[in-house]
Amino acid sequence: MVKELSLGITIAAGIFLMSQGINILPFLFLVGGGYFLYKFVGNQDFGGKLIFSQGNESQGSEIDFSDIGGQDTAKNELLEALDFVKNKKEIQKLGIRPLKGIMLSGPPGTGKTLLAKAAANYIDSVFLAASGSEFVEMYAGVGAKRVRNLFKEARKKAEENNKNNAIIFIDEIEVLAGKRGQNSSHLEYDQTLNQLLVELDGMSNNDEINILVIGATNRMDILDSALLRPGRFDRIVKVDLPDKEGRKEILTIHTRNKPVAADVDLTQLAKETFRFSGAQLENLANEAAIMAMRDKNDEITTTNFKDAIDKVMMGEKLNRKPNDSELRRVAYHEVGHALIGELVQPGSVSNITITSRGKALGYVRHNPDDDYYLETIDYLLDQIAVLLAGSIVEQEILGCLSTGAKNDFKKAVQLAEKIVFSGMSELGVVSKDSLPQNKLHDTVSNIIAQQEKRVMGIINQQQNFVAEIAEILLERESIAGNEFRNKKQKIVS
């Protein structure tokens, strides 16, 4: 109403002035320019306003630690730190100071944000979240002001909601807290980090509102050391990829609200999802449910889960289909990988397919017997042999190579270099920086040549078996690992 009245008065005044012979164009330009500048400055956020998600008693974190699986070590370490905050009076009797900051470090999708939200729920606090990139601007002083405003807002929200605690969660904190002196063009990054350090130092045990800062990063190597010293971020909690038992626990959590068929074995699925993150496992359960809906099933079957694993790993099936000659080459190539894979690790082949997904025209899914954290020389040589097997089948049976083995060769060279720089080659312990390139090339070539000779002998003995499985693939597009093993002849190593 006010806007309409003001507009009417302005128009009437303009008509009156024009009737008196007064030129109002300069006045209109002046008003229009002022309005434009007002809107422009207002949109630039020179004041350091920061938009973030906030929690309170009505919209606080509904995530509980029981909703997070596969991270028992991280949860236990975090819970101990939270108990210091929760039982502030009791710990003061022992002279223990509450922790000011906790750093969650780990690969993407492992549950760092969920842990922070569960922490807010556990200590009954308000929850404010922001990303590190939101603090950095081209304008000097904006980032530092945003940091000050964030801590001020945390205290304000806690008071408004009658809370004694507040959690400030900063995701991608490496953007805000990278090593100082790296950006020579301007010091805005350093000023922003300095302000965060000042805020952490200013927190004390006697504050009415206890603030806990939780940072999340997958780049611990680039964080400034001043941020991680005791008294600021006191604890670094590793949030790693879940092990087999952890993956089973996560799958159990994400399938409890879904109609899962009785034949689904979550233990086997956990085995087949080696190196899957929690986010990937949640996506796996969701994709399996989508596939069950497509098939008009009332329950999610093992087949749905198997297809979902392939989709999460490789992507959706592609409409493009190679011609008959290319498809035959792909089939022989993949059987080569599967044959050597089954030789070096019996029972590891889960599925062979020539269905195109993502960038792959076909692939073999291998499942290790158990999770592993160390790689021996024998294991690395076996993996090189598996990678070379596809191209050797093409060469020995089909008569020539193709570009389909390019990525296999790249990975084989990387594994050979890992052997060299781990001190497991004929060179012994070497320095990566001082080893001559020609020496590295000769050693890597020798390692790969030995495995080529090894694989070539096996392939030449098993040509009939390779052809038999390849024909099955051409007919059905895929074959399960168990069927492959049942048809496998005795392999002579």
CA distance 440 to 201: 50
The maximal CA–CA distance of the chain, rounded, in angstroms, is 108
| Structure token pair of residue 178 | 């990278």
392 CA to centre of own chain: 35
Is residue 294 a contact partner of residue 269, using CB atoms and an 8 Å limit? Answer: no
3-state secondary structure of 194: helix
C-alpha count within 13 angstroms, C-beta hemisphere, residue 165: 22
CA distance 261 to 26: 77
CA distance 177 to 190: 8
Please, which residues bridge with residue 168 across strands? 128, 213
Is residue 215 a contact partner of residue 103, using CB atoms and an 8 Å limit? Answer: yes
Query: Is 334 one of the annotated active-site residues of the chain?
Result: yes
Which residues 6+ apart lie within 8 Å of 373 measured at CB? Answer: none
Please, which residues bridge with residue 239 across strands? none
CA torsion, points 284, 285, 287, 290, in degrees to nearest 10?
170
- Placement of tokens 């944000």 in the chain: 113
CA torsion, points 398, 399, 405, 406, in degrees to nearest 10?
-150
Task: Give me the catalytic one of 272, 334, 394, 452.
Answer: 334
CA distance 192 to 187: 9
Name the residues annotated as catalytic.
Answer: 334
